[in-house]
Amino acid sequence: MGKLWKVLIVAAMLALLPGCCLKHEWAEATCTEPKRCVKCGETEGLSLGHTWRDATCTEPRTCAVCKATQGEPLGHTWVDRTVDAPKTCSVCNATEGEPIKVTEYKFNKLTFSGKNWAIFLDHTIFYVDRGNGCLRFYDLAENEITTIKPEVPEGRGWAFDVYPESYYAGKGKLFAVDYDDAGNCSLLVYDERGTQIASLENVAKVPEGHYISPSTVADNRYLRFYDRKDTQKNAKPVFGLDLETLQIVPTEDMPVARWYDGRQYGACNVIPNSEDKYMLAYSLDYTKMYLVHPVYYSIKAECLDFSGFNELGYALISEDGVNYNLIDRDLNVLGTNVLSGSDADWAGKTIFSIKQGDEYKYYSVE
């Protein structure tokens, strides 16, 4: 009996020692912990280690067993939307937004033909009524606001241009050129409701039979005015206008149009809202149009008609002069043959015009 008591006492003492028990109760190994006795804490073997699943567009690298994470999600690799598909991730096919919509504008009162066309300003419609020799302003409900009727001596022609607020870093304005009988040219400036806000008198004198018209916006601030009967190559503007101050700027103070080359192109124009990435140029015989890089002069695209970009960075371009593709600023085709007609033009923040038969139709592309 003495020996038995001794054995029991030793066993009891051993049971009281930390990390030691008569019968282990094991908890299975995990990703980060080895197999462990829940009574005494003794371990056996190694942890299992994580079973990692690669990161996805929306989830970081994740353990399939314990859901631990590491790092950040990869993020979507977006492909721009087209007329057929919304913005789409090329990796996981997630989508965002809607496809590009091409919608015809419907009018109840106004009609548009070869002599009557419009530019959509922020709050009004600027309507060119060449049949009656006048310029009209309508509100967006097609109610006439005012009419401007230029009085121009015979042989001069009447010239104007209108620049919506989105075209340059100023407010929307209409610029019209007026003459007296001696050929002295004055510049009339109107706001987007047709109210005259400035009259710059005798800014230039032009020879008989010649006429002045605005051409391009330089550096999104200066408007150039050219003599349209000046046949010299690399013809310089007669004068310029600072669109912010409405002051006449001498030609020698005008920013240099580095992309214009009269020996190669018939005319060049800044493409509205293109961030000066490409310039629009005509061939010397005016039978073709080009998109030209503004620094390297390389031709990026050749076409028969081009509309210019709307505020969202879309444009219409036609290789046959009839069918128009929708492109972005990088010249990616976002829609094939989305419209047909001729004389496509940029007509407002998101609006394009296109001539179909003898009528102009207007479409929002957004």
Q: What is the CATH number of the domain that holds 351?
A: 2.40.128
Within a domain: residue 350? yes
Q: What is the DSSP letter of 149?
A: -
- Bridge partners (DSSP) of residue 241 are 223, 248
Within a domain: residue 286? yes
Give the pLDDT confidence score for residue 92 in this predicted structure: 94
Q: Which of 39, 60, 75 is the last residue of a domain?
A: 75
Task: Point out the least confidently predicted range of 66-80, 166-180, 278-292.
Answer: 166-180
Q: Is the pTM of this model over 0.95?
A: no
Within a domain: residue 51? yes
Within a domain: residue 289? yes
Give the count of domains, the chain.
2
Place of tokens 């600027």: 126
Which run of H or E residues covers position 9? helix 2-16
Q: Cα–Cα distance between 366 and 353 in angstroms, integer?
A: 14
What DSSP line would sit under 12-51, residue for residue? HHHHHSTT--SS--EEPP-SSS-EEETTT--EES------
Q: Fill in the amino acid letter for 16.
A: L
Question: Average of pLDDT values for 42-71?
Answer: 92
Q: Which domain holds residue 59?
A: 29-75
Give the pLDDT confidence score for residue 147 in this predicted structure: 92
| Joined tokens for residue 38 | 């829940």
Q: Cα–Cα distance between 327 and 164 in angstroms, integer?
A: 22
| pLDDT 10s digits, 335-348 | 999 999 999 988 88
Q: Fill in the amino acid letter for 101.
A: K
Q: How confident is the model at residue 300 (pLDDT cuts 50, 70, 90)?
A: confident
Q: Cα–Cα distance between 12 and 6 in angstroms, integer?
A: 10
| Joined tokens for residue 292 | 């030209």
Distances (CA, A) of 334 to 33, 235, 313: 54, 37, 11
Q: Which of 21, 46, 75 is the last residue of a domain?
A: 75
- What are phi and psi for residue 6, nearest 5 degrees? -60, -45
Give the pLDDT confidence score for residue 213 in this predicted structure: 76
Q: Cα–Cα distance between 40 and 35 in angstroms, integer?
A: 12
Give the whole-number percent of the chain exceeding pLDDT 90. Answer: 28
User: 249-272 b/e with 16+ CB inside 10 Å = b?
Assistant: beeeebeebebbeeeebebbbbbb
Within a domain: residue 358? yes
| Joined tokens for residue 350 | 């998101």
- What are phi and psi for residue 65, nearest 5 degrees? -95, -55
Q: Which of 75, 105, 129 is the last residue of a domain?
A: 75
Q: How confident is the model at residue 253 (pLDDT cuts 50, 70, 90)?
A: low
Within a domain: residue 115? no
Q: Cα–Cα distance between 14 and 20 in angstroms, integer?
A: 7
Within a domain: residue 355? yes
Within a domain: residue 157? no
| Joined tokens for residue 197 | 């806000």
Task: Point out the least confidently predicted range of 100-104, 257-261, 353-357.
Answer: 257-261
Angle at 292 between CA 288 and CA 298, to 5 degrees: 110
Residue 219, pLDDT above cutoff 70: no
More confident residue, 96 or 226: 96
Q: Cα–Cα distance between 289 and 269 in angstroms, integer?
A: 11
Q: How confident is the model at residue 209 (pLDDT cuts 50, 70, 90)?
A: confident
Q: Fill in the amino acid letter for 78.
A: W
Tell me the pLDDT of the chain averaged across its residues. 80
| Joined tokens for residue 306 | 């081009």
| Joined tokens for residue 89 | 């991730």
| Joined tokens for residue 150 | 């230029």
Distances (CA, A) of 306 to 38, 50, 191, 258, 312: 78, 58, 28, 21, 16
